[in-house]
């Protein structure tokens, strides 16, 4: 029997329209009713940088279309979009209604195969999954319906995949910082989302020497598909590197996989760590003497941030994890491996993990937890009330984030760790000031 989900932390699969919008000059075309589009769009997460985030073609299915089919309405919508919208790629996304009535969307898309600009299709009906899976399905559509084998591999070129653009408030800054880390190793990063990327970077995907996936599970099916179709090997690093410990580990892992000289990698790490700990030492008294925060913390977020922030707060800051909550409805086949990652912490510390999406259950457990003082709760805007009830220090980092604007900030890398410390202790220091 279905039940209500209180305080959801994700949207339906068709919200993958945001993945399309994160590719400059890629246009989503929704085969849905008008209500779907309106509910899935919005929020203070920015748009594509080319098309307005709330302006996109939609078939606006009505009762007549549901009875007699909406294929011709879709065909007409695509034809008009090609005439009046100057996009580099047109991505048709299906909805629950269009798939339930049985429209042959793939047949409609095939009729546009000879167009000057590519028209592709991703099946993103909401009943099939959430927008984390929808993101994967859009990338899968690009791989299967658009990409062609490269004439050659470009030495040192690395495709980077990390997180779900726009759903992750820090997606732009995180990608840029991952690119910077790769560049320090003498490699060339290729990403398809964000500023000045788009179709020209998509075209280079098959040229890469390898794919780098920085994510606990989202995107794993995509890099496996790229390996199968183009013979491109992949390196899967489940932890988004935040702070010194994980960033140094990241550089060693990528350097080793790419065959970068080990001495060069160690010299790079040494210099970065010297700078990092210089700043840590300057403010060590703040971290050590600020006794209004207990040593215990809770992260309520998707697998990416729950894992990355837990490792940072334990390994770099010396805090102790209470139960951690992963809210992205992680598929069952990935859960055990993610649990193991929460046991690979410094000092022999292990974190208990719950895969829960229901805010009511999560917050009841947090309220019943004994923290020995004022805890730290890192999550979304849904955690604000439970933070007030438990007198916790609170920071929103994952969707939905309603009370802060994130433009290009990042928590990735050595500097990202310092940024996260700034954000946490800026909250802590307001307790009595």
pLDDT in tens, 254-294: 999 999 999 999 999 999 999 999 999 999 888 877 767 77
Name the pLDDT band for 420 (thresholds 50, 70, 90).
very high
Residue 63 has pLDDT above 90, yes or no: no
pLDDT for the residue numbered 289: 72
Provide the Cα torsion 246, 235, 137, 207; round to 10°.
Answer: 130
Question: Taking the CB of residue 403, how many other CB atoms lie within 10 A of it?
Answer: 10
- Asked whether the beta carbons of 139 and 197 are under 8 A apart, the reply is no
Mean pLDDT of 181-210: 96
Name the pLDDT band for 413 (thresholds 50, 70, 90).
very high
Name the pLDDT band for 35 (thresholds 50, 70, 90).
confident
Summarised one tens digit per residue, pLDDT across range 335-377 is: 999 999 999 999 899 999 999 999 999 999 999 988 888 899 9
How many CA atoms are closer than 13 Å to the CA of 55, on its beta-carbon side? 10
Max Cα separation, the chain? 70
d(CA 182, CA 157): 10
Q: Calculate helix-pair angle for 171-184, 243-258, nearest 10 degrees.
A: 50
Mean pLDDT of 387-414: 93
- The SS3 of residue 264 is helix
Residue 68 has pLDDT above 80, yes or no: no
Mean pLDDT of 224-243: 98
Name the pLDDT band for 1 (thresholds 50, 70, 90).
very low
Strand partners, 30: 58, 93
- Asked whether the beta carbons of 383 and 6 are under 8 A apart, the reply is no
Strand partners, 213: 161, 236
Residue the block writes with tokens 């010396």: 318
Percent of the residues in the chain that have a pLDDT greater than 70, as a whole number: 94
Name the pLDDT band for 96 (thresholds 50, 70, 90).
confident
Average pLDDT across the chain, whole number: 91
Name the pLDDT band for 90 (thresholds 50, 70, 90).
very high
Mean pLDDT of 232-246: 98
Residue 43 has pLDDT above 60, yes or no: no
Helix residue ranges per DSSP H, 146-216: 171-184, 199-202
d(CA 308, CA 312): 6
d(CA 416, CA 316): 12
pLDDT for the residue numbered 3: 60
* Residue 411 to residues 212, 384, 408, Cα–Cα distance (Å): 18, 21, 10
Q: What is the DSSP string of 206-222?
A: GG-SEEEEESSSTTHHH
Residue the block writes with tokens 């403010």: 283
pLDDT for the residue numbered 69: 66
- Of 106 and 274, more confident: 274
pLDDT for the residue numbered 288: 77
pTM of this prediction? 0.93
- The SS3 of residue 408 is coil
Residue the block writes with tokens 């007549």: 64
Q: Residues near 48 by Cβ (< 8 Å), separated by ≥ 6?
A: 21, 22, 23, 24, 25, 26
Poorest-pLDDT segment among 8-12, 272-276, 316-320, 395-399:
8-12
The total number of residues written for the chain in this structure? 433
- Of 75 and 39, more confident: 75
Helix residue ranges per DSSP H, 41-88: 63-68, 71-84
Name the pLDDT band for 45 (thresholds 50, 70, 90).
low
Copy the structure tokens of residue 433.
Answer: 């000031």
Q: What is the DSSP string of 221-249?
A: HHHHHHHHHH---EEEE-S--BHHHHHHH
């Amino acid at each position: 029997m279905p039940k209500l989900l209180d305080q959801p932390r994700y949207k339906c699969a068709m919200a993958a329209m945001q993945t399309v919008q994160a590719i400059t000059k890629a246009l989503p075309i929704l085969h849905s009713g008008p209500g779907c589009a309106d509910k899935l769009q919005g929020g203070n997460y920015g748009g594509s940088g080319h098309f307005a985030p709330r302006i996109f073609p939609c078939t606006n299915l009505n009762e007549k279309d549901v009875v007699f089919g909406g294929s011709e309405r879709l065909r007409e919508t695509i034809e008009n979009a090609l005439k009046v919208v100057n996009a580099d790629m047109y991505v048709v996304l299906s909805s629950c209604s269009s798939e339930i009535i049985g429209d042959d969307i793939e047949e409609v898309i095939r009729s546009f195969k000879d167009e000057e600009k590519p028209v592709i299709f991703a099946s993103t009906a909401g009943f099939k999954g959430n927008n984390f899976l929808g993101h994967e399905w859009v990338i899968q559509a690009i791989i299967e319906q658009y990409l062609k084998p490269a004439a050659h591999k470009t030495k040192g070129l690395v495709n980077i995949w990390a997180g779900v653009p726009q759903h992750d408030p820090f997606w732009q800054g995180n990608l840029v910082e991952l690119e910077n880390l790769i560049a320090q190793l003498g490699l060339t990063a290729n990403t398809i989302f964000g500023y000045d990327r788009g179709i020209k970077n998509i075209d280079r995907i098959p040229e890469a020497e390898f794919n780098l996936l920085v994510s606990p599970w989202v995107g794993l099916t995509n890099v496996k598909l790229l390996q199968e179709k183009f013979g491109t090997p992949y390196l899967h690093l489940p932890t988004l590197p935040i702070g010194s410990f994980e960033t140094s580990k990241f550089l060693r892992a990528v350097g080793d996989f790419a065959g970068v000289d080990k001495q060069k990698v160690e010299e790079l790490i040494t210099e970065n760590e010297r700078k990092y700990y210089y700043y840590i030492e300057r403010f060590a008294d703040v971290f050590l003497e600020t006794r209004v925060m207990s040593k215990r913390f809770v992260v309520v977020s998707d697998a990416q941030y729950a894992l990355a922030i837990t490792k940072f707060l334990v390994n770099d800051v010396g805090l102790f994890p209470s139960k951690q909550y992963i809210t992205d409805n992680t598929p069952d086949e990935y859960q055990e491996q993610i649990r193991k990652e929460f046991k690979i912490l410094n000092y022999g510390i292990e974190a208990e993990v719950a895969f829960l999406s229901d805010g009511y259950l999560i917050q009841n457990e947090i309220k019943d937890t004994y923290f020995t003082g004022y805890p730290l709760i890192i999550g979304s805007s849904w955690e604000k009330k439970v933070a007030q009830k438990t007198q916790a220090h609170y920071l929103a980092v994952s969707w939905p984030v309603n009370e802060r604007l994130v433009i290009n900030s990042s928590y990735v890398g050595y500097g990202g760790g310092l940024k996260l410390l700034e954000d946490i202790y800026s909250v802590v220091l307001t307790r009595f000031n």
